[in-house]
Amino acid sequence: MTVWWLLLLVGAAGLLTSTGYLVLVAIAAARLRRERKRAGGNDASFPPVTLLKPVCGMEPGLEEHLTSFFEQQYPSYEIIFGARHLDDPALDVVRRVSARYPSVPVEIVAVGEPWRANAKVCSLVRMYEYASHDYLIISDSDVSVDPNYVAEVVQPLLDPRNGLVTCLYRGRSTGGVWSKLEALGMSVEMTAGAIVANLLEGMKFALGPTMAIRRDALEAIGGFQPLADFCSDDYILGREVASIGLQVVMSHHVIDHVVINREFACSVQHQIRWMKSTRCSRRAGHAGTGLTFAMPFGVMALVAGGVLHHWVLGVGLFAAACLNRLLLSLVAGWGVVRDKQSARLAWLYPLRDLMGFVFWCASYAGRRINWRGEWYRLANCGRMVPEHVAATLERSLVGSQVAATSTAVADRYS
């Protein structure tokens, strides 16, 4: 019975840590709201901007998403689209949308096959060669933005102390329970983690769906090339910009990030891959994430309380865990990124929290990931190594160790 009492205590302790995390989220959310109220209006002297937008194949709602970037209320900007080949079906949509907005300069670049592990970064390297302006915004193809997006994202870069700007995002489901659960994770779990990190240590990383940077800052860190081997290129970009003494800023603009994974297997694979990448790039922070979940500890307390015949205590702790996660969904998902689904489906977030814990545990089960049909192994800091290359290196290392051992034995008895 001692084991069950121990599990009950662990469950109660876990609920304390997750409640402490909820308090931090609430403090960070309140600070963010105050900063938004103090934010100034648009400046008429905004500089011209280049938007870099890699595309790859058709996605749900692609035309709608691209259209939002052509409807920006901004005096001067260009959009550079990059795809591996000019016959990519996504470029047909680009051409169709572009024809409706002839006032927006557009360049289409055939970037060719990737020569390093991160195909997106390889595309950015080629697209950057065509950029006309010194203020750059990198955005994914599966995001949708408001008309004031460019203005609000570029504004912090007018301060020379700032080198990189990123955006929070809310998940938008494309249908199906798994897409909804993943979207909830984006709106709540991702938002909570980002604003707490910003509260405690400031932004030392970026969020991939939107990254804005000045040319001088990008050139100072060596351009996009140093990011080309990493899975978490957004984290590495933020880290490198911070390392040269420039600030990474969280914009007040919130974008919509579309979840295209409707099937269970695809959704799970995507979320575990992201967790593994975070584990390799931010080891200490990722390890501490385990203490921010509430539902695993609530379930643990419920089971232990039942075995010990303390049902009232067990059920009470489980109910506290459910209430904790419902509040987190409202505070982060609705209160920060204004995601209506986070308010409407807050009752479902305890299940998403339990799934997030499972994904977190799975992130420690090896370093093998699948990215666009290719298998990689994650090395230190999230560097991606193609699996066949990793296997060759391992065989070479083993061979070297055997040879060294054989030489040592021969020397000993010679």
For residue 40, the model assigns a pLDDT of 61
Average pLDDT over residues 72-82: 97
The alpha carbon dihedral of 73, 97, 172, 373 has a sign of: negative
Instruction: Write phi, then psi, for 297 (nearest 5 degrees).
Output: -75, -35
pLDDT digits (tens, 9 = 90+) for 383-393: 898 887 766 65
Answer yes or no: is pLDDT of 396 > 90: no
Average pLDDT over residues 127-133: 97
Residue boundaries of the structural domains of the chain: 2-24+294-368, 44-284, 371-405
- In the chain, pLDDT over 90 holds for what percent of residues? 76
pLDDT tier, 264 (very low <50, low <70, confident <90, very high otherwise): confident
Tell me the sheet residues that pair with 368: 377
pTM score of the predicted model: 0.89
For residue 392, the model assigns a pLDDT of 65
Answer yes or no: is pLDDT of 372 > 90: no
pLDDT digits (tens, 9 = 90+) for 176-227: 899 999 999 999 999 999 999 999 999 999 999 999 999 999 999 999 999 9
* CA–CA distance, 333 with 270 (Å, rounded to integer): 21
Answer yes or no: is pLDDT of 300 > 60: yes
pLDDT tier, 174 (very low <50, low <70, confident <90, very high otherwise): confident
Q: Which CATH number fits domain 44-284: 1.10.1760.20, 3.40.47.10, 3.20.20.450, 3.90.550.10?
A: 3.90.550.10
The three state secondary structure string of the chain is CHHHHHHHHHHHHHHHHHHHHHHHHHHHHHHHHHHHHHCCCCCCCCCCEEEEEECCCCCCCHHHHHHHHHCCCCCCEEEEEEECCCCCHHHHHHHHHHHHCCCCCEEEEECCCCCCCCHHHHHHHHHHCCCCCCEEEEECCCEECCCCHHHHHHHHHHCCCEEEEEEEEEEEECCCHHHHHHHHHHHHHHHHHHHHHHHHHCECCCCCCEEEEEHHHHHHCCCCHHHCCECCHHHHHHHHHHHCCCEEEEEEEEEEEEECCCCHHHHHHHHHHHHHHHHHHCHHHHHHHCCCCCHHHHHHHHHHHHHCCCHHHHHHHHHHHHHHHHHHHHHHHHCCCCCHHHHHCHHHHHHHHHHHHHHHHHCCCCCEEEECCEEEEECHHHEEEEHHHHHHHHHHHHHHHHHHHHHHHHHHHC
